[in-house]
Structure 1
Amino acid sequence: MTLRSLPLLLAGLLAAGAAHAGQADHVRAANAWIRVMPASLPAGGYVTLRNEGDQPAVLDGASSAAYASVMLHESSTDTGMGRMRMVDRLTVPAHGQVALAPGGYHFMLMSAATPVQPGQTVQVTLHFADGSTLATDFLAKPANAL
């Protein structure tokens, strides 16, 4: 390799990285909704993620302009006690799916910038470990929605 070819090599590597860090084209989101709670209580976010790719997709975060923070949690029941814990990442298997649903994995949407009302759509951007993202519209539903 000559010194002259180094800029071309670097440009190619940067272009490959930028393409990889863009839209998560291999992941599809379906049935995305938010359970809006009264007052300033956190909302719950639910969605089914389908990975159409040949490699696992690792969800490692989310963000939304409508909320100060979005965290991934898992609810469980142990000896009759309901528990909730924060989760750093969630793997969607290759050619598989994972449901974020009431009673299991879900997003906790904290501190709405302005009150979110049932019927509104809120965009949440899902972040994956490979640097890709997936902007997803979540339909706001009332607290008693299932």
Structure 2
Amino acid sequence: MKWQSLLASFAIGLIPAGAVHAAQADHVTASHAWIRLLPAKLPAAGYVTLQNAGSSAATLVSAHSAVYASVMLHESDVESGGMNGMHAVNQLAISATGKAMLAPAGYHLMLEQPDRVLKPGDKVEITLDFADRSHLPVQFAVRPANTADPN
């Protein structure tokens, strides 16, 4: 009987310790999520503002969607030689109690090969993946190509 009581006390004591190690995604909120829809089969771009309320950094490492075959984190390059470009990035850190913006001419999600024809007004769920393997599903509003950044 003593062992059962001791074991129960030990198990109960572990519950708060597990709660201390909350997932990165639990501390991040997403707002102003939208997709710039381009014509034909051109890749679309996803933008979102991420706010980290946690006391440690959160690191976005990838994203995925049931609608798009490919979702990649990219950063637009500074204009060089009259040409704008972009490159894939492996991660984006969101500092403790900080904010990161995926916005035109900056970080963004490159969205390729949708499974259906999308139109302005549609909603697309994209799941953001963090370094600790936690996930944050976010609803993105589809907007036309000529949309100015609504943020």
> Normalization by structure 1: what TM-score?
0.84
Could you say which structure has the higher helix fraction?
A: 2
Partner of 1:119: 121
Q: Deviations over 1:99-121 (max 9, x none)?
A: 10011100001100001110011
Unaligned runs of 5+ in 1: none
Partner of 1:94: 96
Asked if 1:48 is matched to 2:49, the reply is: yes
Partner of 1:64: 65
Runs of 4+ off more than 4 Å: none
The answer to whether the Cα contact below 8 Å between 1:20 and 1:132 also exists between their aligned partners in 2 is: no
Q: Offset at 1:63?
A: 0.4
The answer to whether the Cα contact below 8 Å between 1:72 and 1:88 also exists between their aligned partners in 2 is: yes
Could you say which structure has the higher strand fraction?
A: 1
Equivalent position amino acid for 2:80 in 1: D
Equivalent position amino acid for 2:73 in 1: L
SS of residue matched to 1:25: helix
Aligned residues: 135
User: Could you say if the C-alpha distance between residues 131 and 20 of structure 1 is closer, same or farther in structure 2, counting changes exceeding 3 Å?
Assistant: farther
Unaligned runs of 5+ in 2: 1-6
| Structure (1 or 2) with the larger CA radius of gyration | 2
> What CA distance in whole angstroms lies between the structure 1 residues aligned with 2:48 and 2:81?
27
* Aligned sequence identity (%): 50
Partner of 2:82: 80
User: Could you say if the C-alpha distance between residues 53 and 20 of structure 1 is closer, same or farther in structure 2, counting changes exceeding 3 Å?
Assistant: closer
Partner of 2:3: none
CA RMSD of aligned residues (A): 2.2
